């Protein structure tokens, strides 16, 4: 029997899909299961293993005979498998055949949902991030919110998959969510309507002579869509930008939960001419890999500022880490999520699939960001008094340890422009509330433009108050892991 490995870098479950789209599109590396299992047989026939398997059978017999109502062998074993894999770390999970089928069906097309990336946290459903321009984002649901009720019925005690199924539904149908916002302790109710979720994976805008590109997830078509957006901005700059050309790039990775490893490598390669991009190291040395840049830079060396926040995870952190280590870009914003692990999708015959953590990844400097995240070169908070509850990988239960990487203390960069010292760490108290349709309210973007303009030696754009919101590129996109 063979299985196919797909390397995944998503961070959450898509409420509306059992797993993210990145899981379905595998890299095509095929390995023999029996040979993989044969690598470690030291415990296969030990007395302790036999004793524990006997205990498993005993517990199953007791539950079958004494539980308050009959329970099938299938349900008991599926529950056991779910616990076996799901308790390893926050990103590993077991899927039944039906769950796997649901994932494949929803990822291949459109679905009615709310646009929330969610994750299980100690038995509760926690919001990782709302997706741009979806019902959840428009309603004001925030990262860190706990969903406690769906249609006024408690979801306490449900698995993440069961809770997600309650939030799915036909487009246009109403749904009510009750959430708890941890930092304020408030309970809030949201009356929403499900919509067909179209994830716009790339957005772009031209601010003066600065190109702005936002990547919302690392899906199959991301690099191609990014190239299209950049070429469009180059063409616009010829007639609209002072001097008729681009002078810098802002790459916005805020609240990007990750996606496919190969896309993270491809995007990094588009800005780094040579040197390591990322490496992965797992249990078996023969599976360790390293990826190097191939000598391309689509900007021809223009200065780059990367915007990050606590929702920038996984694949976003690979790109941020590579550009930071190579001093190819300045990272501005907030510390990233800190997910430094790689998951592999392993179909198990016709019985389902396992999403299993199989490796850690390391930045070019040899650092693992697992539980630590990427620290910005220029720290800038999103708001003056953020009432959302920030949480990261380190706040999750039973996370993977950070081992095997470069443990030396990272030295502050010495190549930052002088303006970096004058950039405020947070907006003033009277700063307007952020509105995605009004770039002038985006404090981190404004500071990024100042830094880029200083690097390029051009004036800071003054027309942000009238600039339009970033364009949407309708590149077909699947849904990130963990959205509904």
Active-site residues, by number, are 314, 325, 339
HEC string of the chain equals CEEEECEECCCCEECCCCCCHHHHCCCCEEEEHHHHHHCCCCCCCCHHHHHHHHHHHHHHHHHHHHCCCCCCHHHHHHHHHHHHHHCCCCCCEEEEHHHHHHHHHHHCCCCEECCEEEEEECCEEEEEEECCCCHHHHHCCCCCCEEEEECCEECCCCCHHHHHHHHCCCCCCEEEEEEEECCCCEEEEEEEECEECCCCCEEEEEECCEEEEEECCECCCHHHHHHHHHHHHHHHHHHHCHHHCCCEEEEECCCCCCEEHHHHHHHHHCCCCCCEEEEEEECCHHHCEEEECCCCCCCCCCCEEEEECCCCCCHHHHHHHHHHHCCCCEEEECCCCCCCEEEEEEECCCCEEEEEEEEEEECCCCCCCCCCCCCCCEECCCCCCCCCCCCCHHHCCCCCCCCCCCCCCCCCCCCCCHHHHHCCCCCCCCCCCCECCEHHHCHHHHHHHHHHHHHHCCCCCCCCCCCCCCEECCCCCCCCCCEC
Number of C-beta neighbours around residue 315 at 10 A:
35
Q: Closest by alpha carbon to 392, among 383, 402, 384?
A: 402
Dihedral in degrees, nearest 10, Cα atoms 91, 482, 333, 392? -40
Pair 54, 35: CB distance under 8 Å: no
Beta bridge partners of 196: 112
CB contact burial 217-240 (16+ within 10 A = b; e otherwise): bbbbbbbebbeebbeebbebbeee
């Amino acid at each position: 029997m063979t299985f196919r490995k797909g390397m995944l870098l998503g961070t959450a479950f898509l409420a509306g899909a059992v797993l993210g789209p990145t899981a379905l599109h595998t890299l095509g590396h095929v390995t023999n299961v029996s040979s993989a299992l044969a690598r470690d047989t030291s415990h296969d026939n030990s007395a302790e293993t036999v004793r524990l398997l006997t205990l498993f059978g005993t517990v199953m017999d007791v539950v079958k005979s004494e539980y308050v109502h009959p329970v099938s062998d299938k349900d008991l074993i599926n529950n056991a498998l779910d616990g076996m894999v799901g308790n390893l770390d926050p990103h590993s999970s077991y899927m039944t055949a039906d769950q796997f089928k649901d994932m494949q069906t929803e990822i291949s097309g459109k679905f009615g949902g709310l646009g929330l990336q969610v994750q299980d946290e100690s038995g509760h459903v926690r919001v990782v991030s709302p997706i741009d321009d979806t019902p959840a984002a428009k309603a004001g649901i925030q990262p860190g919110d706990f969903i406690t009720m769906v249609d006024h019925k408690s979801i306490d005690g449900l698995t993440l998959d069961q809770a997600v199924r309650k939030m799915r539904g036909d487009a246009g149908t109403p749904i009510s969510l009750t959430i708890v916002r941890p930092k304020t302790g408030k309970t809030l109710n949201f009356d929403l309507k499900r919509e067909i979720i179209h994830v716009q994976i790339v957005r772009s805008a031209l601010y003066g002579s600065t190109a702005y590109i936002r990547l919302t997830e690392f899906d199959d078509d991301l690099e191609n869509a990014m190239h299209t957006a950049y070429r469009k901005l180059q063409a616009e700059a010829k007639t609209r930008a002072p001097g008729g050309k681009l002078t810098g790039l802002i790459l916005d990775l805020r609240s990007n939960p990750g996606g496919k490893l190969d896309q993270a490598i491809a995007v990094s390669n588009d800005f780094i001419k040579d040197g390591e991009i990322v490496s992965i190291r797992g249990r078996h040395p023969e599976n360790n890999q390293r990826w190097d840049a191939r000598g391309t830079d689509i900007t021809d060396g223009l200065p780059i500022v990367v915007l990050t926040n606590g929702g920038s995870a996984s694949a976003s952190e690979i790109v941020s880490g590579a550009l930071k280590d190579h001093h190819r870009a300045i990272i501005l914003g907030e510390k990233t999520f800190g997910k430094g692990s790689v998951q592999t999708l392993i179909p198990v015959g016709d019985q389902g699939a396992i999403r299993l953590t199989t490796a850690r990844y390391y930045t070019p400097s040899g650092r693992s960001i697992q539980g630590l995240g990427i620290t910005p070169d220029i720290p800038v908070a999103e708001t003056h008094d953020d009432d959302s509850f920030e949480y990261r990988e380190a706040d999750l239960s039973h996370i993977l340890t950070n081992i095997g990487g470069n443990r030396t203390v990272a030295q502050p960069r010495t190549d930052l422009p002088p303006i970096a010292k004058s950039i405020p760490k947070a907006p003033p108290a009277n700063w307007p509330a952020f509105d995605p349709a009004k770039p002038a309210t985006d404090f981190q973007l404004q500071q990024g433009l100042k830094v880029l303009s200083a690097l390029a030696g051009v004036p800071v754009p003054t027309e942000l108050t009238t600039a339009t919101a970033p364009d949407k590129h309708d590149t077909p996109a699947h849904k990130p892991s963990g959205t509904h």
